[in-house]
Amino acid sequence: MQILKDRIVKDGQVIGTEIVKVDSFLNHQIDVTLMSEIGKEFATRFAGLPINKILTVESSGIALACATAIHMGNLPVVFAKKAVPSTMTEGCYSTETISFTKNTVYSMIVSKKYLSKDDNLLIIDDFLAHGGAALGLEDLARQAGATVYGIGAAVEKEFQGGSDKLRLKGYRVESLAVISSIKDGYIIFKNNKEGERLR
């Protein structure tokens, strides 16, 4: 998705050789026009599938999931929480995953009220790196007996292997901006011959 790649080049920041910071427009401050375009692109890529619900994790995936849901006919969005609130009294599905960015293990929790065997899911998130968040959401779906029809990520760091893990499990993965490598402040997108220097 060229407008997303262009925005990453314009406003993103590289930290070391593994992190791309996009918090000025995607996952802290949000450019809602860009978010809508991302949602529209996901809706196009997953068109024709019997998806009836979108699943994500708090907090960065929520805006993307909502934008996608609107373009897919106003589907409901469920987001996994990272702590059990006192209001969740009806039981829940839970799993643990690793955040490589924050170097922590965290819980992912969804109320049994909002995820069931009748759900055909699209998993949406802002980043796909090692695949931990997507695999955690897939585990929650499996516990509920739901079916995952696809996994979408706005930005994929292909060199960290997450998409390979998901595809080996048989999942359709669609990433809108795929980064093949980061080196010396340059980001190289898949299928691009030249890198772009990020500040």
Per residue in 6-21, pLDDT (tens digit) is 999 999 999 888 899 9
Looking at CATH, the fold of the domain delimited by 2-80+112-197 is given as Rossmann fold (3.40.50)
Q: Structure pTM? A: 0.93
Q: What is the pLDDT of residue 197?
A: 52
pLDDT above 70 for 196: no
Distance CA 82, CA 47 (A): 30
The mean pLDDT of the chain is 92
3-state secondary structure 58-80: CCHHHHHHHHHHHHCCCCCEEEE
pLDDT above 90 for 59: no
Cα 8 to its chain centre, rounded Å, is 16
Interval 160-179: pLDDT, tens = 999 999 999 999 999 999 99
Interval 86-128: pLDDT, tens = 676 679 999 998 876 667 888 999 999 999 999 999 999 999 9
